[in-house]
């Protein structure tokens, strides 16, 4: 990532950032993204099975 000087207004009104991801059991953002990708794979798998069964 290329560093960019923040807009001065940004430091005047900092956004409240949180370390916690929110969803229970998913402590890191990597885990959240991993869950999203697993969900995607499940959907593709189910759609492939659907295509196969009813073709």
Partner 1 sequence: MNALDYVVLFGTLLGIAAYGMWRTCGRKDLRDYLSGGGQSGWLLIGLSVMATQASAVTFLSTPGQGYQDGLGFVQNYFGTPFALIIIAVFFLPVYRRLNVYTAYEYLGQRFDTKTRLLGAALFLVQRGLGAGLTIYAPAIVLSTIFGWPLNATIICSGLVVVAYTVAGGSDAVSLTQKYQLGIIFAGMILAFVLLVMKLPAGLSLGDALTLAGGFHKLQAVDFSPSLHVRYTFWSGLFGGTFLMLSYFGTDQSQVQRYIRGASLRESRLGLMFNAVWKIPMQFFILLLGVLLFVFYQFEQPPVFFNQAAWKNQPTGSAQTAEAEFATAHAEERRQLNAWLAARRAGDQSSEKAAFALAATAHTRVEVVRDSVKTQLGKESGTPANDNDYIFITFILDYLPHGVIGLLTAAFFAAALNSKAAELNSLASTTVVDFYRHLLNREASDVHCVRAAQGFTAFWGLFAIAVAIFANLSENLVQAANILGSLFYGVPLGIFLLAFFVKPVGGTAVFWAAVVAEVVILFLYGVRHLIPALDISYLWYNLIGCAACMLFSLVIQAALGPAPKTPATPATP
Where on the chain is the footprint of partner 1 (CB under 8 A)?
A: 1-2, 4-10, 13, 15-18, 20-23, 29, 32-33, 36-37, 39-40, 43-44, 47-48, 50-51, 53-55
User: Could you give the angle at the alpha carbon of 6 between the alpha carbons of 9 and 10, nearest 5°?
Assistant: 25
Q: How far is the CB of 25 from partner 1 (least distance, A)?
A: 14
Q: How far is the CB of 30 from partner 1 (least distance, A)?
A: 10
| In contact, 26 and 32? CB cutoff 8 Å | yes
Q: How far is the CB of 34 from partner 1 (least distance, A)?
A: 10
In angstroms, rounded to a whole number, what is the distance separating the alpha carbons of residues 53 and 47?
10
């Amino acid at each position: 990532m290329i560093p960019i000087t923040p807009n001065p207004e940004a430091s005047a009104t900092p956004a409240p950032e949180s370390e916690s991801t929110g969803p229970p059991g998913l402590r890191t953002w990597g885990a959240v993204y991993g869950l999203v990708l697993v969900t995607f794979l499940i959907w593709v798998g189910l759609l492939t099975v659907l295509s196969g069964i009813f073709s």
